[in-house]
């Protein structure tokens, strides 16, 4: 496969580029338009994970990308295979996860004729991919694939879709290896403007109540160590977005926990009282800011992000800094090395003691009764796994309780569909994470509603013998919607009662997994211990308090200081 | 914040689907397009898109940034009116009874237009100018009777240094 030119089929070119790009695992589902590619795949060492649904293939590739730090790759057929990927692609796009999704397409001669299993997937995914391609000639394929990987992983990462018609996969072209990809209209800015950086330093020196707001960008650019050093040196407390969980050690005394709608009391209060807010790799999503006019209204805001469109989109900032989080933090750390902050602990004493006070008055809490509280399940899971598990979540209450009660000291350990909020994400994402980290404990914290959205993936777990653990916080409700109905819709529980859920223990057994159930608080720990200790996959079904709500809660559109606290 | 009109000019890869990316960006993010012009440049690989939009300064900033983020967009500029030449062309088909012909010809002459098609009951007029000029001639011709009209939308180029 060296630099010599050779004639290859499109399918062979695809396999060659995948291997050049270091891809050893892909997720997918075969079909008519990709038979030629699958035929070729069978002759390579690339491992293919056959999910039971194309949506799950994309979520699995997403989980794989996050847990491995590599680009996740999917392969699906045309038409319904392609449309089934859309939710997964849109989720990866919102969360900036690098994916290359290869879809089959009907032969070029049939495109536009409404052929069997034809769909304009490039048109459909245009607004939810970082970029996409329809490859019309085998000659173009290698260049397009190289660009696809380059775009997916560089700058602000994201999903790239490559649509390959059947005749392009079968056709032949001369292939020669290209290593560098040059694109005249795509050049992300990695290095921040130095003059702007100097201004950050003086803002820090002037500030009395500074803090950091860290997001997924810190994790994506692998800047956790730099962020931690920066925060500790300057003694600035750190709050994170949902996507930023683990970017800063969750058990560090400077850690304020999550910010926003279900953020901690101290994070929301501190953000509203601070006089300097340094946002790093965040996009000030509406679930974080609440009412934007009231958000950090006393603060000068510094916004560090590699994507210029994130800056000044939702909140006005004092100082924009376009650049890679890691490089920017490295530069800042270098600059603060040379600065004498004096007695920093003394300078921060009032601010940090104010925060400590908020921590005490607004601590996360719940009543322990004779019914299992979902928070208790997550807390016990945290204790038993010593905070070391890779946690994936579904979406809704389960996701928020996971974020609140499991503390992440390391990045890439909390894998959730943050931006798009996809129910059914956690189980396939756990598959991807487990494949990326075979030795690691991977737990999907789920609700009884969302687990059923991709429950078929239990078959994938069985096929590949994956020891994924599933914790269902089963309240027989679509809990987060029910919570909104309770609080804001006069308790009219329209269409949220999920009374007729399956027997998850039997369901687990049907898929060859261990099924366990707990209905009293006394059983929680023993069920968790048994499930976690089992050699294979396990579903642990916890019948929790049906009425439990996630608190604190900021009503949508309200200032984040207006929290409902239990 | 006050909204104002902007002419955006951009160079893009001359490939299928690029216009759809630009237009889809506007519709998907709730930006508006008042007029749109696309044609090849001297390089067959590059097209120029000229687009007119009305937006407040913050939205305008987003429009420009979002356009720059598109992979196929090579260069984007928000055109300052004073530093650019802006033109639009209109073809206007006017109903011409014999008693109106002289007046129509006079109007065409004032606006330095051309009659490019004639018939027993119509003229087609070609006229070029900035938006204000086109609006003016259209207003003058309206009472006489406009049958059909086709406008190109604005195209623009920055002036070169003198």
Structure tokens at A16: 């060659």
CATH number of the domain to which B137 belongs: 3.30.70.1150
Structure tokens at A123: 């048109």
Q: Chain B partners of A131 at a C-beta cutoff of 8 Å? A: 71
Taking CA A86 as the corner, what is the angle to CA A82 and CA A92, rounded to the nearest 5 degrees? 125
Contact A126 B69 (CB under 8 A): no
What average pLDDT does chain A have?
96
Q: Chain A partners of B74 at a C-beta cutoff of 8 Å? A: 184-185
Are residues B103 and B47 part of one domain?
no
Are residues B46 and B20 part of one domain?
yes
- pLDDT of amino acid A178: 82
Are residues B46 and B31 part of one domain?
yes
CATH number of A194-361: 3.40.50.1220
- Residue ranges of chain A with pLDDT lower than 50? 1
Asked if A313 has any chain B CB less than 8 Å from its own CB, the reply is yes
Residue of B16, B21, B58 with shortest CB distance to A126: B21
- pLDDT of amino acid A1: 46
d(CA B105, CA A349): 84
Q: For the packed helices A224-234 and A325-337, what is the interaxial angle rounded to 10 degrees?
A: 30
Asked if A127 has any chain B CB less than 8 Å from its own CB, the reply is yes
Closest among A344, A537, A374, A373 to A445, alpha carbons compared:
A374
Asked if A187 has any chain B CB less than 8 Å from its own CB, the reply is no
- pLDDT of amino acid A537: 98
- pLDDT of amino acid A396: 97
Contact A186 B24 (CB under 8 A): no
Range of the domain at B75: 4-79
Are residues B115 and B72 part of one domain?
no
Q: How does DSSP classify residue A111?
A: T
Contact B71 A308 (CB under 8 A): no
Are residues B74 and B96 part of one domain?
no
Domain final position from B47, B63, B79: B79
Helices (H), chain B: 18-28, 57-69, 101-110, 131-141
Q: Chain B partners of A186 at a C-beta cutoff of 8 Å? A: 71
d(CA A259, CA A242): 8
Write the pLDDT tens digit of every residue in A139-164: 999 999 999 999 999 999 999 999 99
- pLDDT of amino acid A3: 54
Q: Chain A partners of B60 at a C-beta cutoff of 8 Å? A: none
Are residues B148 and B91 part of one domain?
yes
Q: Chain A partners of B72 at a C-beta cutoff of 8 Å? A: 185
d(CA A100, CA A329): 29
Known active-site residue A480? yes
Asked if B58 has any chain A CB less than 8 Å from its own CB, the reply is yes
Write the pLDDT tens digit of every residue in B19-32: 999 999 999 999 99
Would the CATH topology of A194-361 be identical to that of A374-543? yes
d(CA A252, CA A259): 16
Known active-site residue A116? yes
CATH number of A374-543: 3.40.50.970
Q: How many CA atoms lie within 13 A of B125 on its CB side?
A: 29
Domain final position from B29, B64, B79: B79
Asked if A123 has any chain B CB less than 8 Å from its own CB, the reply is yes
Are residues B73 and B8 part of one domain?
yes
Closest among B5, B157, B7 to B84, alpha carbons compared:
B157
Write the pLDDT tens digit of every residue in A301-357: 999 999 999 999 999 999 999 999 999 999 999 999 998 888 999 999 999 999 999
Known active-site residue A19? no
Are residues B98 and B51 part of one domain?
no
Are residues B138 and B90 part of one domain?
yes
Which residue among the candidates A70, A146, A166, A373 is catalytic per the annotation? A166
User: Nearest chain B Cα to A124, which residue?
Assistant: B24
Domain ranges of chain A: 6-175, 194-361, 374-543
ipTM: 0.93
Asked if B128 has any chain A CB less than 8 Å from its own CB, the reply is no
Domain A6-175 CATH assignment equals 3.40.1350.10: no
Are residues B65 and B128 part of one domain?
no
- pLDDT of amino acid A192: 97
Are residues B75 and B105 part of one domain?
no
Number of domains in chain B: 2
Known active-site residue A326? no
DSSP A324-351: -HHHHHHHHHHHHHT----SHHHHTHHH
How close, in Å, is residue B58 to chain A by CA atoms?
8
Domain final position from B79, B97, B122: B79
With b for 16 or more beta-carbon neighbours within 10 A and e for fewer, the A525-552 pattern comes to bebbeebbeeeebbbbbbbbbeebbbbb
Share of chain A above pLDDT 90, in %: 94
- pLDDT of amino acid A4: 64
CATH number of the domain to which B43 belongs: 3.30.70.260
Known active-site residue A117? yes
N residues, chain A: 566
- B161 phi, psi to nearest 5 deg: -60, 140
Asked if A134 has any chain B CB less than 8 Å from its own CB, the reply is yes
Are residues B97 and B141 part of one domain?
yes
Write the pLDDT tens digit of every residue in A163-220: 999 999 999 999 988 877 788 889 999 999 999 999 999 999 999 999 999 999 999 9
Contact B20 A126 (CB under 8 A): yes
Write the pLDDT tens digit of every residue in A265-289: 999 999 999 999 999 999 999 999 9
A531 neighbors A504 (Cβ within 8 angstroms)? no
Asked if B28 has any chain A CB less than 8 Å from its own CB, the reply is yes
User: Nearest chain B Cα to A133, which residue?
Assistant: B17
């Amino acid at each position: 496969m060296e630099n010599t030119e050779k004639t290859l089929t499109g399918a062979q070119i695809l396999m060659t580029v995948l291997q050049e790009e270091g891809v050893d695992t892909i997720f997918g589902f075969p079909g008519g338009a990709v038979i030629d590619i699958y035929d070729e795949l069978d002759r390579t060492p690339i491992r293919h994970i056959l999910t039971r649904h194309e949506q799950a293939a994309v979520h699995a590739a997403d989980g794989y990308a996050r847990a491995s730090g590599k680009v996740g790759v999917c392969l699906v057929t045309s038409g319904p295979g392609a449309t089934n990927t859309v939710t997964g692609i849109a989720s990866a796009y919102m969360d900036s996860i690098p994916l290359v999704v290869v879809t089959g397409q009907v032969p070029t001669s049939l495109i536009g004729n409404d052929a069997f299993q034809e769909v304009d997937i490039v048109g459909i995914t245009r607004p939810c991919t970082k970029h996409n391609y329809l490859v019309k000639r085998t000659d173009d394929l290698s260049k397009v694939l190289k660009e696809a990987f380059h775009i997916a992983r560089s700058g602000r990462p994201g999903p790239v879709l490559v649509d390959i018609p059947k005749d392009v996969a079968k056709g032949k072209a001369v292939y020669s290896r290209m290593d560098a990809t040059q694109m005249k209209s795509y050049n992300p800015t990695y290095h921040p403007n130095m003059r702007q950086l100097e201004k950050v330093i003086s803002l820090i020196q002037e500030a009395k109540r500074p803090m950091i707001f860290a997001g997924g960008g810190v994790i994506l650019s692998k800047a956790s160590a730099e962020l931690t050093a920066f925060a500790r040196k300057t003694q600035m407390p750190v709050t994170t977005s949902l996507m930023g969980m683990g970017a800063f050690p969750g058990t560090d005394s400077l850690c304020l926990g999550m910010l926003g709608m279900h953020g901690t009391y101290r994070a929301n209060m501190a953000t509203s009282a601070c006089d300097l807010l340094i946002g790093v790799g965040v996009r000030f999503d509406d679930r974080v800011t609440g009412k934007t006019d009231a958000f950090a209204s006393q603060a000068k805001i510094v916004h560090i992000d590699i994507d210029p469109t994130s800056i000044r989109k939702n909140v006005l900032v004092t100082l924009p800094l376009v650049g890679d989080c890691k490089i920017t933090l490295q530069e800042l750390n270098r600059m603060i090395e040379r600065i004498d902050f004096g007695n920093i602990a003394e300078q921060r004493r009032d601010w940090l003691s104010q925060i400590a006070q908020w921590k005490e008055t607004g601590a996360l809490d719940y009543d322990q009764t004779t019914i299992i509280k979902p928070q208790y399940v997550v807390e016990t899971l945290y204790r038993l796994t010593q905070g070391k598990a890779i946690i994936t979540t579904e979406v809704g209450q389960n996701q928020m309780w996971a974020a609140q009660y499991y503390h992440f000291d390391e990045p890439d350990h909390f894998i959730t569909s943050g931006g798009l909020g996809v129910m059914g994400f956690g189980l396939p994402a756990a598959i991807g994470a487990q494949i990326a980290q075979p030795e690691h404990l991977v737990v999907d914290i789920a609700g009884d509603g969302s687990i059923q959205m991709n429950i078929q993936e239990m078959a994938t777990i069985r096929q590949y013998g994956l020891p994924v653990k599933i914790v269902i916080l089963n309240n027989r409700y679509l809990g987060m919607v029910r919570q909104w109905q309770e609080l804001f819709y006069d308790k009219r529980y329209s269409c949220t009662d999920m009374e007729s859920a399956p027997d998850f223990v039997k369901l687990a057994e049907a898929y060859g997994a261990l099924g366990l159930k707990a209905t009293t608080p006394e059983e929680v720990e023993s069920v968790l211990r048994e499930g976690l200790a089992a050699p294979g996959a396990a579903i642990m079904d916890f019948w929790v308090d049906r009425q439990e709500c996630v608190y604190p809660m900021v009503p949508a559109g309200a200032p984040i200081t207006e929290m409902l606290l239990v | 914040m006050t909204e104002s009109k902007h002419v955006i000019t951009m160079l893009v890869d001359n490939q299928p689907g690029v216009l759809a990316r630009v237009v889809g960006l506007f519709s998907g993010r709730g930006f508006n397009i008042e007029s749109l012009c696309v044609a090849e440049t001297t390089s067959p690989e590059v097209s120029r898109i000229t687009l007119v939009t009305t937006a407040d300064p913050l939205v305008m900033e987003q429009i420009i940034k979002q356009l720059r983020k598109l992979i196929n967009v090579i260069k984007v500029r928000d055109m300052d009116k004073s530093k650019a030449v802006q033109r639009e062309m209109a073809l206007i088909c006017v109903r011409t009874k014999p008693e109106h012909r002289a007046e129509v010809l006079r109007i065409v002459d004032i606006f330095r237009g051309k009659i490019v098609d004639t018939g027993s009951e119509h003229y087609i007029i070609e006229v070029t100018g900035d938006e204000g000029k086109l609006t003016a001639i259209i207003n003058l011709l309206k009472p006489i009777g406009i049958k059909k009209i086709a406008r190109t939308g604005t195209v623009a180029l920055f002036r070169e240094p003198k």
